[in-house]
Amino acid sequence: MNSKFSRRNVLKVAGGGVAMAALGMPSILRAQGSFPDRPINIVVPFDTGGYNDRLARAFAPFLQEALGQPLTIINRGGAGALLGHTFFLQQPDDGYTILCTSAAPYIPLNMLTQNAEFTLEDFYMVNLPSQDYTLLATSADSDIQSIDDVITRLKEDPTSLSVGLQPASADLVNFSILCEANDIDFEATRMVTYDGGGPARNATAGGVVDIGLVGGEGFLPLAEQIRPLLTFDSRQRDNWEGAIVTDVLGAETDFVVGSQRGWGLHGSMQESNPEAFQILVQAIETASKNPAAIEALTTQQLATDWYGPEESNQMLARTAAVMEQYIDLLQGQ
Amino acid sequence: MIELNAVSGAFALLSSDINAWLYLLPGLVIGLVFGAMPGISITMAMAFALPATLYMDFLPAIIFLTAIYTGAGFGGSVPAVLMGIPGTSSAVATTFDGYPMARKGEHNQALGVALASSVFGCLVSYLLLFFLIAPVSSVVLKLGPLEMFAVAVWGMLLLGSLAGRHMSRGLLAGVFGVLLGTIGMNTAGFIRGTMGVPWLLDGIPQIPAMMGLLAASQLIGLINTTYLIEDEGSRKISFSKILSGLKTAFVYPTIILRGSVIGVVIGAIPGVGSSISNLLSYSETKRNAPDGDTFGQGNPKGVIAAESANSSSEGGAMATMLALGIPGGGATAILLAAFAMHNIVGGPSFIANNKDIVYALIFSNFAQAILLLFVGLGFVYVASYVVRVPLRFLIPSVLVVSTFGAYAIEGSASGPITLWIFSVLGWAMVRYGYPVAAAVVGLLLGSLLEGNLLRTNQISGGDFISYGLERPWALLIFALMIGSIIMQALSKRKKLKQAAENSESRSASEAS
Amino acid sequence: MSTKPGRRVVWGHLLLLTVIVGVVIAYLLDARGVSTRVNNLLLVQPAAILALILAALVLPGLFPQRGSAEEDELPKETPADLMRIFALIGALAFLAFSLETIGFDIATFIFMVVALAICGERRWWVNLLFSALFTVFLIYGYGTITPFPFPLTIL
C-alpha cells in the first residue's frame, strides 16, 4: 500500500517537474530575435503574500505558456506602491518588464498625494480583472440593522458612531459622499484611521468601531462576523445583503470603486515597440481566457475576467477623475 | 472541548498518506537555513516554497509549509546567538543574552538552551492551541486600540531594565528610538520626517536598522580583537555542552511556560505577533528573576524567555488564522493561500466543519517540534563553527551578509544605506554608554504606540477615561502590568534588606 | 597649570549628543510644519520634548572630572585602532552606496578585499581567493532566494 502511494507521489512530483520544464521549452523552439527572446520580469509593487503578489504568482505559469519565456516576479513593495511604480517606469519600455498592480487607487493616489513624477498616460492597463468595491459594514452582533439606522444616527449626532477606515482611501471618499448627500457633518464624525484594510476589517468585525468602510472582497472570510449594510457599486457584489449605493443615493451619485488590480505595460510602448506591445497584450488575453488559468485562479479566489485594454484604461481614468475631485480629502488636513 | 471523533479522524488523515511525512525533514532544513540567513524572512522562505506545493496533495503541502515555518522560526536564533544579528524582529531579545553568552565562550550552551526553549515553546503553544483555539479567536477581534496601546506600553517597560548604568542615557536612547520609529506616514495619513525620500514613507526600514544597531556596530568595535571568543580554550565545539544547554532550559519550566503563554496570546493578535512577544517575555522574566541584574551579560534565562515566546507565537498566529481565516502576518497569509489552492477556506466555518484537519495540523506540528530537536542539534553543531573563524575573516563576511540581507528585505539600496547609518550610530552609542537595545525596542514599538494612542484618541473623542472604563481587557492588562511592577519593587526591597542583613551579620562576624 | 583637577570634554560624545538632539529638533519642526493637529503630534511632540529633557540630563556626562571614575570608563583605543575603525566604516559606506551602481559582484569583491586588509589579513593571495569565493557564494546563495535579481556587472 505504501509503495502504491509513493509511486503516485513520485509520478506527481515528476509530472510537476515535466510541466515546469515544458513551460520553459517553447523558448528554445522559438526563432531567435523575435520578441520575447529572454525572460520577462513582472514587477509587483507590493510585498510577498498580498493580493497582487498572489495574482502574479498564480497567473505567471499561464502567461509564461502564452509568451514562451519564463517570467521572474520582482517584489518592490513600499510607500503605497509608489516605489514599485517608479521602479517599473525606470525600466526600459521594451516589453521585458511588465506590471501587476492595484492600478486604482494607487496610481492616482501616488500622483495626487505623493507628488509622483508620473501621469496616468505613462501606464497602459491591459486588463484589470479584479474590481474591488467599498463595503460599509458593522459587527454581526451590533444593534445597527441597516444603512438607514446609520444615516439617522449620524444625522442626529455625527459623533454617535465611530467609523473605521483607511486615510487617503477610496473608502474615505465614499464616506464623505455619503455624508454630503445626507447633510451629515463629515468633519465632526468620529473617524478612526487604520494602516491597512485587514486591521480595519478586524476592528469592524470585532465591534471595536461601530461601522467600518473597507474593500469588500477582503471581508469574505469574515462574512459570518459582520453585517453588510451598504455596497458602493451599482450592482450587488459577492452576494452581500444590505443596500446598494445607487439605490440609496440615486442612480446619478458619484462613488469611487475600490482597488482595480491587474496587468499593465509602459504607456510609451505603443509607439516605441508596437510589435512587442501587441504580443504582450495578446498573450495576457490568451492566458486570461485559458480555462486552466480560470480554474486555477478561481480556486485561489483570484480574478481572471477579461475586460480588455480599452475598458480597463477607461475604468482607471474614471476612477482617477473622481478621486481628483476629492483631492483635498485625500491629501488630508 | 476536544472531540474524540475529530481526533481519530485526524489520526486517520495523518496516517492515510505516510509519504506526506517525507516533506517534514526537507521543510525543517529549508526553514532552518533560510531563517538563519539575515534578512530572509519566514514569509520569503514560505513564498518560495509555495509554488512547489501546487503539485502536492493538501496534507503534504501543509506539512511542508508549516515545517518551513517552524524551522525558520528557530533558524533566526542561530545568528542572533552567534553573532548578535537579529535576522528577524522576533530574535531581538535572543541577542540580549545569547550573544554575551557566546562571547563568554558559552556558545554551545546558549544554542542548546535556545533550541530546547524553542522546541518546548512550540510544543506548549500547539498544546494551548488545542484547548484555546475557540476562546482565543473570540477575543482577538475584540481587541481595540487601547488594549494594543497597553501591550505596547508593556513592551516599553523593558526600557527601564535595559537602561544599564546611566539611566538618562538609556531612556534617551529609548525615546530617540520611539521617535525614529514614528517617522514616515502615520496612521492618520500625516507624513513627517521623510526629507522627501520616498522609501521613508513606510518608516525607517526596521530590520536593517536593527541589524545595524545591534550587530554591525558590535562588529566594527571588534576590529581590534582576533577571535569572537578571546579565550582559545573556550572556542571548542562541544556536543555535550550543547546537550547540557538543552538540559538547562528544562530547569526553568516556569520561564518557558510564561514565555509560551505570552507568545501564544500576543502571537494571536494580528499584526503584532512574535516581534513583540519575545520582548515582553524577556522583560517579565528579567523583572521576576532573583538574578535579574545579570540579564544582558549572558544569563541563560534571558535566552529561554525570548526563545520560548517567539517560537510559541507560531501557535498563536495559527489559532487566529484557523479560527478567523485572517492572516496575522505574512507567514500565515502564505498558509492561507496554500489552503485556498486546495479549495479550503479558513474561517469559523472551517474549524466547525474540518476539526479533523485542525487536529491533524496540531499533531503534525507536535511531530515537527520533536524532529526540530534533532535536526536543530545537527544544525547548531555545524553553525557553531563560526566561533572558530578568525575575526579578520568573520567581520567582513558578516558585514557583507548583513548588507545582502538588508537589500533582500527592502529590495533596494535603502536597506544597505539604513544598515550603514545605524551601524555608525550604534557604534557611537555603544562607545559612549548608551544601550543600543533600548533604541531598538523604541524603534520596534514606536509606530505601534503612536498608531494605537491615536486611534484611542479618535475612538474616544478625546475622553480616554470613560472609554477606558468600557474596556475591561485593557484595564486587565494595565492592572497586570502595575501588579508586576509592584511585585518587583517589593521583592527588590526584600532582597536589599536581606543583603543588608547579610552584610551586617558578616561584618559582625568579621569583627568578632 | 592649576593643581585642581579640571574637567575634560569628550568630543565624540558631544558629537553624538549633538546629532541626536539635532535629529529630534529637526523632526519636531518638520512634524509641526506638516500640521499641528492632534492626529499628527499626539505622540511625537511630547516624546520629542522628553528626549530634549533627557538630553539635558545627559549633558554633565560629557564633561567628566579628570581622574574620576567616569573618565576611566571612556574608551581607550589607540589612534591607529580608531583609524582602522573609521576605515572599515568608510568601506561599508562604499559598499552600501555603490551596490546598485557598480553591481553587487564588483562592490562586494572590492569591499571584501579592502575590509580583509583593514581587519588584518596580510597574505594577499589568501585575501583575494577568499574574497572571490565568498562573493560568488553569496551572490548565488542569496540570488536564488530573494524575490528579485541583484544588479550584477560581471557574474
Taking 60 as the threshold, does the pLDDT of residue B388 lie above it? yes
Taking 80 as the threshold, does the pLDDT of residue A133 lie above it? yes
Taking 80 as the threshold, does the pLDDT of residue A102 lie above it? yes
Of A223, A249, A275, the residue that ends a domain is A249
Q: Nine-digit cell at B43?
A: 514569509
A332 Cβ under 8 Å from any chain B Cβ: yes
A101 and A174 housed in the same domain: no
C62 and C117 housed in the same domain: no
Q: For residues A148-153, give the mean pLDDT.
A: 91
Predicted local distance difference test score (pLDDT) of residue B315: 83
Facing A333 at nearest CB: one of C35, C148, C149: C35
Of A249, A279, A306, the residue that ends a domain is A249
Q: Nine-digit cell at B85?
A: 544579528
Any idea of the CA torsion for B99, B102, B106, B110, to the nearest 10 degrees? 50
A24 assigned to some structural domain: no
Predicted local distance difference test score (pLDDT) of residue C50: 95
CB B386 within 8 A of CB B106: no
C85 and C130 housed in the same domain: yes
Predicted local distance difference test score (pLDDT) of residue A249: 83
Cβ contacts below 8 Å, chain A against chain B, sum to 146
Taking 80 as the threshold, does the pLDDT of residue B43 lie above it? no
CB C24 within 8 A of CB C51: yes
The DSSP H or E segment spanning C80 is helix C79-102
How does residue B347 score in pLDDT terms, banded at 50, 70 and 90?
A: low
Closest of B61, B59, B105 to residue B81, by C-alpha: B105
Predicted local distance difference test score (pLDDT) of residue A12: 43
Comparing A166-175, A196-205, B479-488, the range with the smallest average pLDDT is B479-488
Winning range, highest mean pLDDT, from A301-310, B226-235, C55-64, C104-113: C104-113
A74 and A124 housed in the same domain: yes
A286 assigned to some structural domain: yes
C92 and C131 housed in the same domain: yes
User: Which A residues in the span 200-219 are in contact with B, Cβ-Cβ below 8 Å?
Assistant: 201-203, 205-209
Radius of gyration of chain B (CA): 23
pLDDT-above-90 percentage for chain B? 13
Q: Nine-digit cell at B182?
A: 514614528
What is the domain-level CATH number for residue A175?
A: 3.40.190.10
How does residue B450 score in pLDDT terms, banded at 50, 70 and 90?
A: very high
Strand ranges (E), A76-195? 97-102, 123-131, 134-139, 162-165, 190-193
pLDDT tens-place string over residues B408-425: 877 788 889 999 999 999
Q: For residue B140, give how far its alpha carbon lies from the nearest alpha carbon of chain A (Å).
A: 8
Strands A71-75 and A40-44: parallel
| Whether B416 and C99 lie within 8 Å, measured CB to CB | yes
Q: For residue A56, what are the domain limits?
A: 39-130+259-331
How does residue A137 score in pLDDT terms, banded at 50, 70 and 90?
A: very high
Cα B272 → chain centroid? 11
A182 assigned to some structural domain: yes
- How many other CB atoms are found less than 10 A from the CB of residue B345? 15
3-state secondary structure at position B68: helix
pLDDT tens-place string over residues C5-59: 677 888 889 999 999 999 999 999 999 998 888 888 999 999 999 999 999 998 8
| Whether A12 and B412 lie within 8 Å, measured CB to CB | no
Q: For residue C83, what are the domain limits?
A: 79-145
| Whether A74 and C149 lie within 8 Å, measured CB to CB | yes
C43 and C88 housed in the same domain: no
- How many other CB atoms are found less than 10 A from the CB of residue A51? 23
Facing C96 at nearest CB: one of B45, B195, B416: B416
Q: For residues B198-222, give the mean pLDDT.
A: 85
Taking 50 as the threshold, does the pLDDT of residue A24 lie above it? no
Enumerate the residues of chain A whose CB falls inside 8 A of the CB of residue C34: 333
CA pair distance A280, A35, nearest whole angstrom: 9
Q: For residue C4, give how far its alpha carbon lies from the nearest alpha carbon of chain B (Å).
A: 26
Predicted local distance difference test score (pLDDT) of residue C71: 67
A72 Cβ under 8 Å from any chain C Cβ: yes
- DSSP state, B205? -
Predicted local distance difference test score (pLDDT) of residue C89: 93
pLDDT tens-place string over residues B127-154: 887 777 767 667 777 888 898 888 888 8
Nearest chain B residue to A168 by CA: give it: B189
Facing B198 at nearest CB: one of A82, A206, A301: A82
| Whether B192 and C30 lie within 8 Å, measured CB to CB | yes
Taking 60 as the threshold, does the pLDDT of residue B263 lie above it? yes
C93 and C126 housed in the same domain: yes
Of C22, C57, C72, the residue that ends a domain is C72
A162 and A224 housed in the same domain: yes
Comparing A202-216, A243-257, C68-82, the range with the smallest average pLDDT is C68-82
Predicted local distance difference test score (pLDDT) of residue A68: 83
C150 assigned to some structural domain: no
A232 and A311 housed in the same domain: no
Q: Share the mean pLDDT of chain A.
A: 81
User: Which C residues in the span 110-129 are in contact with A, Cβ-Cβ below 8 Å?
Assistant: none
A276 assigned to some structural domain: yes
- How many other CB atoms are found less than 10 A from the CB of residue A230? 26
Q: For residues B29-53, give the mean pLDDT.
A: 80
C137 and C94 housed in the same domain: yes
Q: For residue A2, give how far its alpha carbon lies from the nearest alpha carbon of chain C (Å).
A: 34
Taking 80 as the threshold, does the pLDDT of residue A63 lie above it? yes
Taking 80 as the threshold, does the pLDDT of residue B327 lie above it? no
Comparing B4-8, B24-28, B480-484, the range with the smallest average pLDDT is B4-8
Taking 60 as the threshold, does the pLDDT of residue A5 lie above it? no
| Whether C147 and A333 lie within 8 Å, measured CB to CB | no
Closest of C45, A213, C42 to residue B454, by C-alpha: C42
Comparing A202-211, B162-171, B247-256, B369-378, the range with the smallest average pLDDT is B162-171
C68 and C84 housed in the same domain: no
Of C72, C87, C116, the residue that ends a domain is C72
Winning range, highest mean pLDDT, from A84-98, B31-45, B413-427: B413-427
A301 Cβ under 8 Å from any chain B Cβ: yes
A181 Cβ under 8 Å from any chain B Cβ: no
How does residue B286 score in pLDDT terms, banded at 50, 70 and 90?
A: confident
A169 and A231 housed in the same domain: yes
C59 and C85 housed in the same domain: no
Measured on CA atoms in the order A286, A287, A288, A293, is the torsion positive or negative?
positive
Nearest chain A residue to B325 by CA: give it: A221
Comparing A138-152, B345-359, B417-431, the range with the smallest average pLDDT is B345-359
Q: Which of B187, B432, B460 best probes binding to C when mutated, by most C CB atoms within 10 angstroms? A: B432
Taking 90 as the threshold, does the pLDDT of residue A38 lie above it? no
| Whether B44 and C145 lie within 8 Å, measured CB to CB | yes
Q: How many domains does chain A have?
A: 2
Q: Nine-digit cell at A320?
A: 482617477
C1 assigned to some structural domain: no
Enumerate the residues of chain C whose CB falls inside 8 A of the CB of residue A193: 39
C114 and C66 housed in the same domain: no
A88 and A141 housed in the same domain: no
Q: For residues A124-130, give the mean pLDDT.
A: 87
Comparing A145-154, A321-330, B89-98, B108-117, the range with the smallest average pLDDT is A321-330
- How many other CB atoms are found less than 10 A from the CB of residue B3? 12
| Whether A75 and C149 lie within 8 Å, measured CB to CB | no
Q: Measure Cα distances from C44 to B209, B461, C51 in Å.
A: 20, 19, 10
Cβ contacts below 8 Å, chain A against chain C, sum to 14
Facing C147 at nearest CB: one of A75, A193, A333: A75
A20 assigned to some structural domain: no
Comparing A208-222, B18-32, C140-154, the range with the smallest average pLDDT is C140-154
How does residue C115 score in pLDDT terms, banded at 50, 70 and 90?
A: very high
Q: For residues A222-239, give the mean pLDDT.
A: 87
CA pair distance B417, A223, nearest whole angstrom: 44
C104 assigned to some structural domain: yes
pLDDT-above-70 percentage for chain B? 91
Which amino acid is it at B331?
A: A
A74 and A174 housed in the same domain: no
Radius of gyration of chain A (CA): 22
Q: For residue C138, give how far its alpha carbon lies from the nearest alpha carbon of chain B (Å).
A: 8
A141 and A118 housed in the same domain: no
Taking 60 as the threshold, does the pLDDT of residue B1 lie above it? no
A198 Cβ under 8 Å from any chain B Cβ: yes
Q: For residues B31-49, give the mean pLDDT.
A: 80
C35 and C92 housed in the same domain: no
Subunits next to C (3 or more Cβ pairs <8 Å) are A, B
Q: Share the mean pLDDT of chain B.
A: 83
- DSSP state, B213? I
Place of cell 479522524: B9
Predicted local distance difference test score (pLDDT) of residue C107: 92
CA pair distance C146, C155, nearest whole angstrom: 17
Of A207, A231, A249, the residue that ends a domain is A249
Enumerate the residues of chain A whose CB falls inside 8 A of the CB of residue C149: 72, 74
Which strands make up the sheet holding A123-131, listed edge to edge? A71-75, A40-44, A97-102, A260-266, A123-131
Facing A83 at nearest CB: one of B142, B199, B342: B199
C56 and C89 housed in the same domain: no
Nearest chain A residue to C144 by CA: give it: A72
C6 assigned to some structural domain: no
A235 and A146 housed in the same domain: yes
ipTM over 0.85: yes
A264 and A187 housed in the same domain: no
Q: How many domains does chain C have?
A: 2
- Between B164 and B181, the higher pLDDT residue: B181
- What secondary structure does DSSP assign to C100-148, as a single string? HHH-HHHHHHHHHHHHHHHHT---HHHHHHHHHHHHHHHHHHHHHHSSS
Q: For residues C103-108, give the mean pLDDT.
A: 90
Comparing A30-39, B123-132, B370-379, C74-83, the range with the smallest average pLDDT is A30-39
How does residue B406 score in pLDDT terms, banded at 50, 70 and 90?
A: confident
C110 and C126 housed in the same domain: yes
